[in-house]
Amino acid sequence: MPRTATVTHPTGAPDRRQRRRLPPAATLGIAVGLLALVAIASLAIGARQVPFDVVVQAFTAPVPGDPDQVVVRDLRLPRAIIGIMAGAAFGVVAAILQGATRNPLADPGLLGINAGASLAVVAAIAFLGVASPFGFIWFAFGGAALAAVVVFLIGSVGGGASPARLALTGAAVTAATTPLITLLLIRDVGTLSQYRFWSVGSLAGRGLETASVLWPFLAAGLVLAGWLAGRMNLLALGDDVARGLGVRLSTTRIVTAVAVIVLAATATSLAGPIALLGLAVAHAARGLVGADYRWLTPLAGVLGAIVLVAADVIGRVVVAPAELEAGIVAAIVGAPVLIALVRRGRGASL
């Protein structure tokens, strides 16, 4: 087994702020507790306020036909579960991508994964008449997975999958698919209407059947991410050092590609291509526990779940009785993070 590396930033510089932080285990425990509170708030808060005792009774002493309990069990519980699943997947996949590419701005959008999912969904709407969120999931999953495979295969030809090659290949895939998406959208107003709802990112309209279909993929991706966590610490030191410390680079990259494909496709299938969420929470996790991926990766997943579920709750109340999609609220959170990174000069050197 490879030895544990000294905690460093993705650039290889020592983490000088580590002494000022809480212990990573304490930080992760606090985040899990906060996630539980946010999940409870998701069940109780909305256009129809439900008292906490009624939320508890909905699961411990259900009353058939009670309107408040129906809202909790049938409408809000699926949204909370899907928000936790999708948010965790977005956070973990961004952390893995940033570690594997040594690019602090890496997220599924950078590698063309969101573009691949979008193209597949648009094609499903335009040619097959798919109109429900449950119907979108397999097309989004397949499109995201195919785009990721193409990026990793092309980026690995002739010299290995370097951070710059993967980023440039992802940009090329996005550039190639965007005109096709636009062409399909302008041909049919109905396609545009359906796609617009999916593309902004929303937890509404997703039932537990969606979660039941996709949870095995999420579980598999998280297991792979856990296996990769320690190796990401060594990859941050550079390929030559990592190889010298016993890391099998080819195996690690293959597992990384599989984990990214599975997690990104699952997240996009569940909630749509939510922009900047993974980027924001991965950097927040790094600020809280440093660049040790054994702690950074699970914390990014928990923070992603917190932000997405909280964004869904906020979206229900800010324009009540209407709703603001969770993807819009999450982007409002993520955009300042990206701006702050640019202002601090921490963008990736490609």
pLDDT of residue 159: 60
pLDDT of residue 78: 92
pLDDT of residue 345: 55
pLDDT tens sequence across 45-65: 987 888 888 899 988 888 888
Alpha helices in 208-248 (DSSP H): 208-235, 239-244
Candidates 327, 209, 335; CA nearest to 283 is 335
Structural domains for the chain: 1-81+276-350 (no CATH), 108-272 (1.10.3470.10)
pLDDT of residue 7: 47
The answer to whether the beta carbons of residues 169 and 112 sit under 8 Å apart is yes
Distance set, CA 326 to CA 20, 260, 303, 313, 331 (Å): 33, 23, 15, 8, 9
pLDDT tens sequence across 141-182: 889 889 988 888 887 776 666 667 777 888 888 899 989 998
pLDDT of residue 349: 41
The answer to whether the beta carbons of residues 278 and 94 sit under 8 Å apart is yes
The sign of the CA dihedral 334, 336, 339, 343 is negative
Candidates 97, 123, 90, 122; CA nearest to 111 is 97
Q: Report helix angle 277-289 to 293-317, nearest 10.
A: 130
Region for residue 290 given its phi and psi (left: phi exceeds 0; alpha: psi -120 to 50; beta: otherwise):
left
pLDDT of residue 205: 75
Tell me the β-bridge partners of 8. 14
pLDDT of residue 342: 61
- Residue located via tokens 């690995």: 156
Q: Any idea what the Cα angle at residue 260 is, between residues 256 and 261, rounded to 5°?
A: 115
What residues in the chain have per-residue pLDDT under 70?
Answer: 1-20, 158-163, 337-338, 341-342, 344-350
pLDDT of residue 344: 66
Q: Report helix angle 113-128 to 249-271, nearest 10.
A: 40
Distance set, CA 71 to CA 41, 60, 65, 144, 280 (Å): 13, 15, 10, 32, 31
Long-range contact pairs involving 20-27 (C-beta distance under 8 Å, separation at least 24): 21/288, 21/289, 21/290, 22/288, 24/289, 24/290, 24/292, 24/295, 24/299, 25/295, 27/288, 27/289, 27/295, 27/299
